[in-house]
Amino acid sequence: MFEWIDYVHTALAVAGLNRGAARDRIIAVLAEQRCALTAIEIEDVLRARGQVTARASIYRVLDLLVEHGLVERVVVGEGQARFEPLDPGGQHHHHLVCGQCGRLEAFDDPGLERAISQLSRRLGASVESHEVVLRGVCERCH
């Protein structure tokens, strides 16, 4: 199976970008996650591994990965974003953000995917991607 890390390194090389230690560490952390992380959470993981990386470097790498369509920025609140790898095959999930505790919960919904597809056909549009972020109160806070 073609791994996301290999996909990212290949895409960045094709774009003419050289590999770097900080970038490689951040890509490795993202590849291990099931859902989106904040830059601070990435920094914490790296620090726990003894791989201290400046927060500014983390943000620069994340911006680069978003710019090249390799990572998705999920806005979860005012001025707060999380980042997660984009699957080259198009597999994805959506998110519920709890307005009370800030928890981010991933979910899949085939019915929602069908509805989005039907809507794009009805509008005569070619939808290349979509992001669904539901905001409310999670089960724990309810």
pTM of the model: 0.79
User: Between 21-32 and 39-48, two packed helices, what is the crossing angle to 10 degrees?
Assistant: 100
State how far the Cα of 6 lies from the Cα of 14, in Å rounded to an integer: 12
Tens digit of each residue's pLDDT, the chain (142 residues): 348 999 999 999 999 999 999 999 999 999 998 788 999 999 999 999 999 999 999 999 999 999 999 998 988 777 789 999 988 877 778 888 888 887 888 888 888 888 888 998 999 998 877 888 888 998 898 8
Task: Find the DSSP H helices in the chain.
Answer: 4-14, 21-32, 39-48, 55-67, 110-123
State how far the Cα of 24 lies from the Cα of 66, in Å rounded to an integer: 15
Other beta carbons within 10 angstroms of residue 32's beta carbon come to: 10
State how far the Cα of 110 lies from the Cα of 19, in Å rounded to an integer: 37
- What's the half-sphere exposure (Cβ side, CA atoms, 13 Å) at 116? 13
State how far the Cα of 133 lies from the Cα of 74, in Å rounded to an integer: 8
State how far the Cα of 137 lies from the Cα of 123, in Å rounded to an integer: 32
